[in-house]
Structure 1
Amino acid sequence: MSQTTNIMGISFPNVTMDQTVAILSHVVEQRRTELFHVITGNPEIVMSCQKNRTLRAVVDQAGLVTADGAGIVMVSRVRGGQLTERVTGCDLLFRLLEEGNRKRWSFYMLGAEEHVSERALEVIEQNYPNVVVSGRHHGYFSTDEEQQIVEEIRDANPDFLIVALGAPNAEQWIDKYRHQLNARVAIGVGGSLDIVAGKTKRAPALWQKLNLEWLYRLLSQPSRWRRQLILPRFAVRALLFREQK
């Protein structure tokens, strides 16, 4: 991870999916007491960091920031960077479940609606029988319930804390409780539990290969159009970005 690519002030290590999984496997094997926070940096997070100082501080101190989105990789290439492939939260979660099935890793799943959370657990138990789901909780909880959830995660002592609360809520929630969670690795994965549960369909492989997954999601969920407007805004700002001295 010696080489990095700078996108609007955010440093992205030039790591592939295989390298990312290897890094996280090493973290788990070391049994570190300090939480290793992985941020899957998509255009939305990068743009938010330009005005949200709290989020920017969280990103700057993360253990690893991955390139979540074709836009990040494409801007890197245009600006002469060396990012070679996307490492999205959803893809990373599935890869970790595959590796966890071999190594009997434990996971705590936080987020999504209750019935989606339940279904995601059923799918994981069916497809990854050696994975240990040491706990789960839906994502619609009140502030008053947070400490109880934190204590449940702490007692579960998971290898991976998977947080599907949406960006940047997941990243800031993880950071807020980082010293109490007693997990080896924590990752915000957006709406990935919806995909695991089958509530939301993933773009076909060809669309992913052509870096058109964003378009597939827009066509599948037209209500996302306002959110998708951030993509062209990000591209323009990132390409014209100059670091302030």
Structure 2
Amino acid sequence: MSESVRILGVPFSKLTFQETVKLLEHTAQSGGRDKPFHLITANPEIVVRYQEEPKLQEVMHAADLITPDGIGIVLASRWRGEPIAERVTGYELLVELLSIGQRHGWSFYLLGADEETNRIAAEKIAEQYPGVRIVGRHNGFYKLEEEAGIVKEIAAAEPDFLIVAMGAPRAEHWIYKYKSAVRAKVAFGVGGSLDVIAGKVKRAPVIWQKLNLEWLYRLLSQPSRWRRQLALPIFAFRALLECRK
């Protein structure tokens, strides 16, 4: 893993957004791996769960790179005196890789979201990034007995990028479980990114993003998220406590 800072046990990459993109671009172009490069974009909620779930610890320790998907992670790194330059989010990485993928003719497999959202997202990607190849897709609401067939389908497609939109940490567990079988070059979870691409969910306006208040915008637009947001004060308390040790 590249230079990192440990926050509540999680080794977060200190690479900037563009440095992360360059690393993924090099990985996709070089090939020669028997398993995909597993990227995890982790926010404070995932860090709190990491501390409480041994299986998630196993998954994250085996990842190739963990990026800070949340301003809380960036602030915690500053409290430790080992500052991370900026957030590196799953959605922004996906959009940038799709843009670069036009030049390289990269292939993507989209796994996750509901069937309509998955289909519309694939159609919009094909329309907006015609140089990119969507070599397969499947919604995330399948029966357990279908899973082996989905894994075989992904392996047969051999995508450059396996995009898993199942929400965290389900996506991370899924990739960890099947990364020896899917034959992708890079795999990472993107949360609700396909919902945004498909137009089902609106991303926070740019001003909210610049003010690092995207979390508040999502809470106000989706009040049902309040239980998930309870992890934020827990994370802040634990991170501050860690800094004082």
TM-score interval, smaller chain: over 0.9
- The equivalent residue for 1:141 is 142
Q: Which amino acid aligns with 2:174?
A: W
Q: Once the 2 structures are TM-superposed, how far is the Cα of residue 229 of structure 1 from its aligned partner?
A: 1.2
- The equivalent residue for 1:24 is 24
Q: Which amino acid aligns with 2:51?
A: Q
* 2-structure distance, mates of 1:87, 1:73: 10
Native 8 Å contact 1:8 1:242 kept in 2 = no
Q: Which amino acid aligns with 1:15?
A: L
Describe the superposition over 1:198-238 as per-residue Cα deviations: whole angstroms up to 9, x where unpaired. Answer: 10000011110110000000111111111111111111111
- The equivalent residue for 2:214 is 213
Q: TM-score, normalised by structure 1?
A: 0.96
Provide the identity percentage.
55
Q: Which amino acid aligns with 2:242?
A: F
Structure 1: any 5+ residue segments left out of the alignment? none
Cα–Cα, structure 1 residues 242 and 51, in superposed 2: closer, same or farther, change >3 Å? farther
Q: How does 1:91-106 map to 2 (within 5 A)?
A: 91-106=92-107
Native 8 Å contact 1:112 1:194 kept in 2 = yes
Describe the superposition over 1:47-86 as per-residue Cα deviations: whole angstroms up to 9, x where unpaired. Answer: 1111111111111111111001111101111221220100
- The equivalent residue for 1:13 is 13
Query: After TM superposition, where is structure 1 displaced by more than 6 Å over at least 4 residues in a row?
Result: none
- The equivalent residue for 1:235 is 236
Structure 2: any 5+ residue segments left out of the alignment? none
* 2-structure distance, mates of 1:44, 1:94: 23
Q: Which secondary structure does the structure 2 equivalent of 1:50 belong to?
A: helix
Cα–Cα, structure 1 residues 39 and 2, in superposed 2: closer, same or farther, change >3 Å? closer
* 1-structure distance, mates of 2:25, 2:42: 20
Is structure 2 residue 10 aligned with structure 1 residue 4? no
Cα–Cα, structure 1 residues 59 and 239, in superposed 2: closer, same or farther, change >3 Å? same
Native 8 Å contact 2:80 2:243 kept in 1 = no
* 2-structure distance, mates of 1:50, 1:3: 22
* 1-structure distance, mates of 2:234, 2:8: 13
Cα–Cα, structure 1 residues 240 and 139, in superposed 2: closer, same or farther, change >3 Å? same
* 1-structure distance, mates of 2:233, 2:84: 20
Is structure 2 residue 123 aligned with structure 1 residue 122? yes
Q: How does 1:125-204 map to 2 (within 5 A)?
A: 125-204=126-205
Q: Which secondary structure does the structure 1 equivalent of 2:99 belong to?
A: helix
Q: Once the 2 structures are TM-superposed, how far is the Cα of residue 97 of structure 1 from its aligned partner?
A: 0.6
Native 8 Å contact 1:9 1:243 kept in 2 = no
* 2-structure distance, mates of 1:126, 1:2: 35
Q: Is the deviation greater in 44-53 or in 174-183?
A: 44-53
Q: Once the 2 structures are TM-superposed, how far is the Cα of residue 117 of structure 1 from its aligned partner?
A: 0.5
* 2-structure distance, mates of 1:243, 1:123: 48
* 2-structure distance, mates of 1:19, 1:243: 31
- The equivalent residue for 1:48 is 49
Describe the superposition over 1:80-102 as per-residue Cα deviations: whole angstroms up to 9, x where unpaired. Answer: 12201000111111111111112
